[in-house]
Amino acid sequence: MKAEYHLNKEKRLINTIKKLDYEDDYETLIENYLLSAAHLINAALHKLRILSPDKDIKHNQLYGFLIKEKTWKESTEIAQSIQQLEQLRPSHVYGKGENGKTAHIAEKLFNEIKEICDEVLKNERNP
């Protein structure tokens, strides 16, 4: 998927997030922040020419890919954030966790990823 399509998906997911409540919709918020982050990372990887437009990395494989990737200096930092975001899911999306505060943690992790990716994508977002 081309970077522009990833950015469109990220924008749509963020627009959905804006409609949700942190206490009532924390599962969906966590999922949307994770998927939004995955789209941003893939877009940045395409922009940096680390990934070709016909190749994408699924959210659950990003950590391993980024740890192995050495040409993007922020790979390790982003890998840590995406892994932490992934680790919020089992107890709150699939399990018995009921804590809207976790959605705020997901937002914080997403924003860390977004800040790094936006540096790569700044011309892509505002051509």
Band of residue 57 on the pLDDT scale cut at 50, 70, 90? very high
- pTM of the prediction? 0.90
SS (H, E, C) 16-85: HHCCCCCCCCHHHHHHHHHHHHHHHHHHHHHHCCCCCCCCCCCHHHHHHHHHHCCCCCCHHHHHHHHHHH
Task: Kindly tell me if the per-residue pLDDT of 112 is higher than 80.
Answer: yes
Contact predicate 92/25, CB 8 Å: no
pLDDT at 127: 46
Q: Residues 9-29: what's their mean pLDDT? A: 95
CATH number listed for the domain at residues 3-125? 1.20.120
pLDDT tens-digit readout, 68-110? 988 888 899 999 999 999 998 877 666 566 677 889 999 999 9
